[in-house]
Structure 1
Amino acid sequence: MIHTKPKSFVVGITGASGAIYGVRLTETLLSMGYTVHLVVSHAGWRVLKEELGVNTSDRDGFLSDKFKDCPGSLLYHPIGDIGASIASGSFRVEGMIIMPCSMGTLSAVANGTSDNLMTRAADVMLKEGRQLVLVPRETPLHAIHLENMLKLSRLGVRMIPAMPAFYFGPQSLEDLVNFMVGKVLDSFNIEHALFRRWEG
């Protein structure tokens, strides 16, 4: 009998506004039984504190409490751990999502600046031909932002800007967050029921 390991994804949370997106994505993947390798930038932790009231002095406590009821497996990697499993192309994962993705991180990925685990893991996705999804959250956008997005898009990186839709009649902030998470799952062909699809 062949035993296969659960599919694994890398999730990055950066210092862009919208930390709730990354938290909900992680929670959703774990609830589906996937393994999630989580990386949070220093600025990402700051935003988690400012936007969601996370006690960042007890990061392990937050992670274990937040995702304790999820059947999947969560592996947290500090941003400075360049020797982590996900820093190597020989370590197999399905793909990586940076949600939300700051313009600084997007620029680093676009220019191959692998100066921390987040950008190194993204670089691994590119060199190994694996799916990389970025969820940029910034407005307004200037030419450098747009040029970096175009550069990455031409390399096959999926750009899913944090632009929730309204055609499905969202009734809450959670509905809008779920829409964005659902669009990310769609890019990996993962079935979900996070929002009502347009039927014409």
Structure 2
Amino acid sequence: MNSKRIIVGFSGASGAIYGLRALEMLRAAGVETHVVASRSAELTLRDELDIGIRDLEPLCDQLHAIGNVGATIASGSFPADGMMITPCSVRTLSEIVTGVTSTLLTRAADVTLKERRPLLLMVRETPLHLGHLRSMMAAAEMGAIIAPPVPAFYAKPDTLDEMVSFTVGRALDQFGIKAPIQRWAGLGKSTPPE
């Protein structure tokens, strides 16, 4: 079993499958997970995946209520190896950048940054205007990892599922968690999933 502990946040941006796949891959890797999802994320989960927030419980070690600012993940004394917000809306990004943390989702992200732990933001928005770009730049300057869900076609995915898994696997690389994905082996070569 892996001794890592990762906080997984869901915002209301489109792309709930990325968060769900992250939980599946983290569970397969033996990583302890703590989940927090915004109220908008519940709408997105229902609309895109036909599931509710409670359906995430079997995939995580602890599901935290969005309004519970007294939860363990709201404190820097709670040892975690980092946090990923996938998908990450521009609203969530903006709250993190300004430090105006109105929910447990953004409070946990703020704590992750102040403790100098990896915070990966899978920002799901396009096209981007200057305000979005400035917010992403500010988050990066604060130490966040900006990792939009961009597919890699060199992996020659056959399905949408493979594209999602690759993107999430690359995100997990940022925490030192190796997922079984197709990796770059040079032009004209491919490596099978680990």
TM-score by length of 2: 0.92
1:173 aligned to 2:163?
Answer: no
2:35 and 2:64 in contact (8 A); partners too = yes
Amino acid at match of 2:35: L
After the TM superposition, list the runs of 4 or more consecutive aligned residues in structure 1 that deviate by more than 3 angstroms.
Answer: none
Partner of 1:163: 150
1:178 and 1:195 in contact (8 A); partners too = no
**Residues in 2 aligned to 1:138 and 1:113: alpha-carbon distance in whole angstroms:** 21
| 1:78-111 alpha-carbon deviations (Å, 9 max, x no partner) | 1101000000001100000000000000000011
Partner of 1:154: 141
Partner of 1:96: 83
Amino acid at match of 2:158: Q
Partner of 1:117: 104
1:167 and 1:198 in contact (8 A); partners too = no
| 1:6-57 alpha-carbon deviations (Å, 9 max, x no partner) | 3210000111000000000011101111110001111101000000111x3x
1:135 and 1:161 in contact (8 A); partners too = yes
Instruction: Give unmatched runs, 5+ long, in structure 2.
Output: 188-194
1:43 aligned to 2:43?
Answer: no
Partner of 1:70: none
TM-score by length of 1: 0.89
Q: State the Cα RMSD in Å.
A: 1.6
Amino acid at match of 2:40: A
| 1:157-185 alpha-carbon deviations (Å, 9 max, x no partner) | 11101111111101001111011111111
Instruction: Give unmatched runs, 5+ long, in structure 1.
Output: 68-72
Alignment CA distance shift 1:141-1:181 (3 Å)? same
Q: Identity percentage over the alignment?
A: 44
